[in-house]
Amino acid sequence: MGWFGILSEKPWIPEARGTSAEWGRTAYTPAVKISLRFMLGIISVFFLLFFVTFISRSQYDDFLALAGEPWQPFTNSMRLWINSGVLVLASVAMQGAVYALRRNHHFRLLVLLATGAVLAILFIILQISVWQFLAGMGYSVAGNPANSYFYILTGLHVLHLVGGLVALGRVVNSLREEGDLQNRHAAIEACAVYWHYLLGLWFVLFFMLTRTPETYALIAAACGLG
Amino acid sequence: MTHIAIADQTAHLHHPKTFIGKYIWSQDHKVIAIQYSVTAIFVGLIALLLSVLMRLQLGFPGEFNFISPDAYLQFVTMHGMIMVIYLLTALLLGGFGNYLIPLMVGTRDMVFPYLNMLSYWFYLASVIVLLSSFFVTGGPTGAGWTLYPPQSILAGTPGAGSGIVLMLLSLTIFIIAFTMGGLNYVTTIFQARTRGMTLMRMPLTIWGILTATILGLLAFPALLVSAIMMLFDALLGTSFFMPAIVSLGEPLNHEGGSPILFQHLFWFFGHPEVYIVALPAFGMVSDVLSVHARKNIFGYRMMVWAIVIIGGLSFIVWAHHMYVSGMNPYFGFFFATTTLIIAVPTAIKVYNWLLTLWRGNIHLTVPMLFAIGFIFTFTHGGLSGLFLGNVVVDLPLSDTFFVVAHFHMVMGVSPIMVLFAALYHWFPLVSGKQLHTGLGKVHFWGTFLGTYAIYLPMHYLGFLGVPRRYYALGDTSFIPESAHVLNEDITIAAIIVALFQLVFVVNVIWTLRSGPRSVRNPWGVASLEWHTPDVPPAHGNWGDALPTVHRWAYDYSVPGAKQDFIPQHVAEENVEYEAGGRRVGEGE
């Protein structure tokens, strides 16, 4: 039954005698899955609001985009592509872990989860090196709003990844204990989905932060912020 | 793959053995709810004290030397922020949400008890960080609860150094706490309802809490975004919100930032926040009115739809707080329209409350008195909102005491009336004891009449053009002497109302220490929370087996039934009817 159907129910009509109560439909979805959907929604709103402010701020005269001219740091964005590759591999490893879980390959599951975690940590280290690279070129946090946004947004992305690593650590730790198998499966699948989400988010950030002033003007005009 | 709802799993329940495990690091939703409530009421009392200090200054300017202009602005700011965020949001969702959700939907606990525990401790940390700003150099921020930059972080504003930083940090921690709690509430409601508890059989309290939580989860990120960006502006010298500016004769390093951008972000959070507070209150008052009128809630479906529609609309009205910010006039037209549209579902709710009372068997108990009081205060606050929602009326009234009177009636006094209704209503469930009725009635009449004595004259002050946030009015030509007299009266009324709250505190302490034990389910409530094997409910709530729900939560005074209420878990074949009595519409 869809939402319209649910909201059209007439609960004041009494149940017929002798009928048994039904489970609500959503009772079959694991809690982790439901909360993950909400969490991804919250994170999306969080970053979307940043993007709106970013596009709006990009139309001010003092905004100096990080790409477009040869001397600007991300006109050649090879560093960021390397980082992206590492995050893609992390995501692939996590998806592999989900397949291993479904086929009950316990050892392979652990190896792939560890690989996903290590690659995520490697991505974080590489992101820190990008910050050092930027700072070394004189692009400080307060130097220009474009720099400020780059540090803030990539920093927040890294923080979300750190949160994911903590959650993954707790899930792996719980594998040693006895407990409900179905919920544990759901937790590992949720970790993989979270990794994919952060990969997608990273590509959106990558795109947003390395455009030329002309592209920003176009996006701003399309959003009515120009 | 099918999954068993967590409601039915007893294995995951954390059974503490020690005192600390049971009452300090507790994962039991009921203990966490009480922790939330006690902390929220504690900070609420501090905010109440701050409001009395503010009123002393306004009523008797110059009489109290310790209230300097800076201190006055700090009191205003901290009073507002504490009341809205740390009292109302925390008590309604962290307190009542935590206590009632698992009991009302028939589960043993929240789905993530550990996260729930963390949520409270983060909340406590946010409160400690906030209160610590009273003890740092420069004191807490005095920028007003809206924290508008650039003035909030510029020298000359009280607390522009450490105070504002601690405020922003505290808000950040609070939002993390709320997100952990909120994820628990929505997941528990969607996933862990007991057998038979369909969404449309849930009490309106749960609908209110659910919708408010979703609003909070989507709106608090806007506050978090603005807090992070302002922290960067204040600490690292970035220019997100800070324009090129000369402060105390010195040009600052900021350039090009947009203070209006902060206002948009703040109110994108700030307006849904009104409904984060109001919707749980709407839900709880619906239940209290229905129970104490011994009548089913009028228009249940419409009440649910109204809650959901109000929740949705609350995201597209934010700029009605910004009519004087210089935005495009077409914006004002759009936001005035959406603002007035939101009055429609809200009015439906008010009519339904009145129709629930219509020809009901009204018991004027203390919770009922507060609930009826709420209908008055909310209607009055809502009507003045219709004035302010219109751009042309808002412009002259903006930043006057009319606005202060409006929002105190609609989201100060009204939710507080519901909170008291709820506290008196559910106190026997939480503690096993019933609060003293006589003291309760004294508390109600003092609060109800007293708040009118405060806020009705304030509307008049607003019409005169008396500005808000002013330390002293001085000799201002357009403000007559009578306004000063009125200010004195309002202050005296405020002190009296504050003292009446002590009656409540005394009532709670006396009842807990030496009050008689309450009878089981003293109000005759049909919803699940009153039908646990133990009262107060024990750890795990439901003993060996979860209840099965067979009906909605509003079967009061069912024609032909022997008892005047039928609990939700009683099947139709077990209902005793009078001889020859048969329920209309029965499915046989």
pLDDT 10s digits, B352-405? 999 999 999 999 999 999 999 999 999 999 999 999 999 999 999 999 999 999
Give the range among A171-180, B116-125, B328-337 with minimum mean pLDDT: A171-180
- For B478-490, write each residue's pLDDT tens digit: 899 999 999 999 9
Q: Which residue in A52, A53, A201 has the most chain B C-beta atoms within 10 A of its own C-beta, making it the best mutation to test that interface?
A: A53
**Can you tell me which residue has the tokens 């809650």?**
B307
Residue at B41 is within a domain:
yes
Residue at A74 is within a domain:
yes
Q: What is the pLDDT of residue B244?
A: 93
pLDDT over 90 (residue B5): no
- Spatial separation of the C-alpha atoms in residues B85 and A194, rounded to whole Å: 30
Phi, psi of B179 (to 5 degrees): -65, -40
**Per-residue confidence at A183, pLDDT binned at 50, 70, 90?**
confident
Mean pLDDT estimate for chain B: 93
Subunit contact B239:A179, Cβ cutoff 8 A: no
**Per-residue confidence at A28, pLDDT binned at 50, 70, 90?**
low
Phi, psi of B556 (to 5 degrees): -110, 145
Cβ-Cβ contacts under 8 Å, B236 against chain A: 141-142, 148
pLDDT over 50 (residue B3): no
Q: What is the pLDDT of residue A200?
A: 98
- For B497-546, write each residue's pLDDT tens digit: 999 999 999 999 999 999 999 999 999 999 999 999 999 999 999 988 99
- Supply the range of the domain harboring residue A185: 25-222
What is the nearest CA distance from B225 to chain A, expressed in angstroms?
A: 7
pTM: 0.95
Q: What is the pLDDT of residue A176?
A: 78
* Structural domain count, chain B: 1
Rg, Å, chain A Cα set: 23
Q: What is the pLDDT of residue B2?
A: 35
B82 burial via Cβ count (<10 Å: 0-12, 13-18, 19+): buried
Percent residues over pLDDT 70 in chain A: 93
Q: Provide the number of CB pairs (under 8 Å) joining chain A to chain B.
A: 174
- For A48-58, write each residue's pLDDT tens digit: 999 999 999 99
Residue B557 touches chain A, beta carbons under 8 Å: no
Taking residues B40-62, report their average pLDDT.
96
Residue B11 touches chain A, beta carbons under 8 Å: yes
Subunit contact A29:B179, Cβ cutoff 8 A: no
What is the nearest CA distance from A195 to chain B, expressed in angstroms?
A: 19
What is the nearest CA distance from A84 to chain B, expressed in angstroms?
A: 25
Taking residues B91-114, report their average pLDDT.
96
Taking residues B181-190, report their average pLDDT.
96
Percent residues over pLDDT 90 in chain A: 74
Percent residues over pLDDT 90 in chain B: 88
Residue at A8 is within a domain:
no
Residue B235 touches chain A, beta carbons under 8 Å: no
Residue at B143 is within a domain:
yes
Taking residues B46-61, report their average pLDDT.
96
Residue type, B330: Y
Q: What is the pLDDT of residue B32?
A: 97
Q: What is the pLDDT of residue B4?
A: 42
- Supply the range of the domain harboring residue B88: 28-202
Q: What is the pLDDT of residue A25?
A: 45
Cβ-Cβ contacts under 8 Å, A12 against chain B: 296, 300, 552, 554
Subunit contact A142:B239, Cβ cutoff 8 A: yes
Give the range among A67-81, A96-110, A152-166, B6-20 with minimum mean pLDDT: B6-20
Residue at A11 is within a domain:
no
Q: What is the pLDDT of residue A179?
A: 67
Residue at B130 is within a domain:
yes
Helices (H), B141-257: 162-191, 204-236
Give the range among B17-31, B176-190, B538-552 with minimum mean pLDDT: B17-31
Q: What is the pLDDT of residue A16?
A: 75
Cβ-Cβ contacts under 8 Å, A56 against chain B: 258, 261
What is the nearest CA distance from A93 to chain B, expressed in angstroms?
A: 24
CA A209 to chain centre: 16
Subunit contact A34:B239, Cβ cutoff 8 A: no
**Per-residue confidence at B476, pLDDT binned at 50, 70, 90?**
confident
pLDDT over 50 (residue B466): yes
> What is the residue-wise DSSP string for B74-136?
HHHHHHHHIIIIIIIIIIIIIIIIHHHHHHHHT-SS-S-HHHHHHHHHHHHHHHHHHHHGGGS
**Per-residue confidence at B1, pLDDT binned at 50, 70, 90?**
very low
Residue at A199 is within a domain:
yes
Taking residues B108-137, report their average pLDDT.
96
Residue at A192 is within a domain:
yes
Residue at A14 is within a domain:
no
Subunit contact A17:B586, Cβ cutoff 8 A: yes
Q: What is the pLDDT of residue A68?
A: 84
Residue at A10 is within a domain:
no
Residue of B304, B294, B588 lying closest to A9 (CA atoms): B304
**Per-residue confidence at A2, pLDDT binned at 50, 70, 90?**
confident
Q: What is the pLDDT of residue B587?
A: 43
* Structural domain count, chain A: 1
B294: left (phi over 0), alpha (psi -120 to 50) or beta: left
Cβ-Cβ contacts under 8 Å, B356 against chain A: none
Q: Which residue in B13, B175, B199, B218 has the most chain A C-beta atoms within 10 A of its own C-beta, making it the best mutation to test that interface?
A: B199
- Spatial separation of the C-alpha atoms in residues A149 and A54, rounded to whole Å: 7
- Spatial separation of the C-alpha atoms in residues B519 and B532, rounded to whole Å: 14
| CATH code of residue A160 | 1.20.120.80
Chain B, nearest residue to A28 by Cα: B3
